[in-house]
Amino acid sequence: MTPTTIAPEIARSWLLVSAIRTDDFDKAAASRADQIILDIEDAVDPKLKADARGSVVDWLSGGGTGWVRINDRTTDFWSDDVDGLKGVPGLSGVMLAKTESASEVTETFDRLGGTVPVLALVESALGIEEAVSIARARGAFRLGFGSGDYRRDTGTSSDDLAMAYPRSRLVVASRIGNLPGPIDGPTVGSSHPVLRQKSELAVALGLTGKLCLDIDQLTVINETISPTQSDATWARDFLDDFEARGRVIRDGSDLPRLGRAEKIDRLAKAFGIVPIKRG
């Protein structure tokens, strides 16, 4: 197993792995996914949840590292999930399914011992409208968009315009809650051009990560959500010039450009994107 080196705060690709497919755990951990999520919620039949949870605990206790998507607070499975995962080595955090209130996040965080981050997956109209309070909740780490369940809840189509509001709502809520950018829902299908277009749209709206269901999607997601080499080159050139002139602000555009350059440079270094050398 190869542990990820990309911090979850800036992770681009979040690979969901069904907890009943134990043979895929090591493969997922060694993949190009920035973070992996072992899923004991939607991907597991209710009759198999206890066994799936046990398999996840065994893998994490045996040297594995990853996140776990747990069942939502309103189900009978939630309590068993948090109690079973509390104190388990290798647990990076939990993704709380169908989050609709700040109290659900905080109660999950507290039950897990007050140290395990909670990624709140928002999947309904109520969750979207409560996104700001969810983002401000104690224990909230990042917001995720459960786009499929949101469409089922609201009757919204998958059209980009129709889905722009909930995505933007999560972006604004994350900023108000001082959280990293939110994580977009998965794109179903094997078409890389479609996946690239959907990932580019997410970036344009301000989302900074994406859930995925297939290892084959990881390269496209990571590439699309990362700064380009030309972005990294511009940022490095701007920062070098800014330092060379003694960090003097020349006009009103310098501070916004400085902030953008610093962000791009930081991400480029984290993702291993090398600027083009001068000359």
Q: Is the domain of 237 the same as that of 137?
A: no
Query: What pTM did the predictor assign?
Result: 0.94
Q: Is the domain of 56 the same as that of 126?
A: yes
CB 35 within 8 Å of CB 208: no
Q: Is the domain of 19 the same as that of 144?
A: yes
Strands 91-96 and 118-122: parallel
Assess whether pLDDT exceeds 60 at residue 195.
yes
Whole-number pLDDT of residue 71: 98
CA distances from 225 to 88, 228, 268 (A): 31, 9, 11
**pLDDT interval class at 251 (50, 70, 90):** confident
- As for how many domains the chain has, the answer is 2
Range of the structural domain that residue 179 is part of: 13-225
**pLDDT interval class at 1 (50, 70, 90):** very low
Q: Is the domain of 129 the same as that of 211?
A: yes
Q: Is the domain of 251 the same as that of 213?
A: no
CA–chain centroid gap for 33, Å, is 11
CA–chain centroid gap for 100, Å, is 18
Q: Is the domain of 217 the same as that of 131?
A: yes
Whole-number pLDDT of residue 279: 61
Assess whether pLDDT exceeds 60 at residue 3.
no
Q: Is the domain of 165 the same as that of 237?
A: no
The amino acid present at 211, given as its one-letter code, is L
Q: Is the domain of 155 the same as that of 256?
A: no
Q: Is the domain of 134 the same as that of 242?
A: no
Q: Is 277 among the domain residues?
A: no
Largest CA distance in the chain: 66
Q: Is 6 among the domain residues?
A: no
How far apart, in whole angstroms, are the C-alpha atoms of residue 227 and residue 119? 24
Q: Is the domain of 162 the same as that of 57?
A: yes
Residue of 105, 119, 100 lying closest to 208 (CA atoms) = 119
Whole-number pLDDT of residue 142: 98
Q: Is the domain of 112 the same as that of 244?
A: no
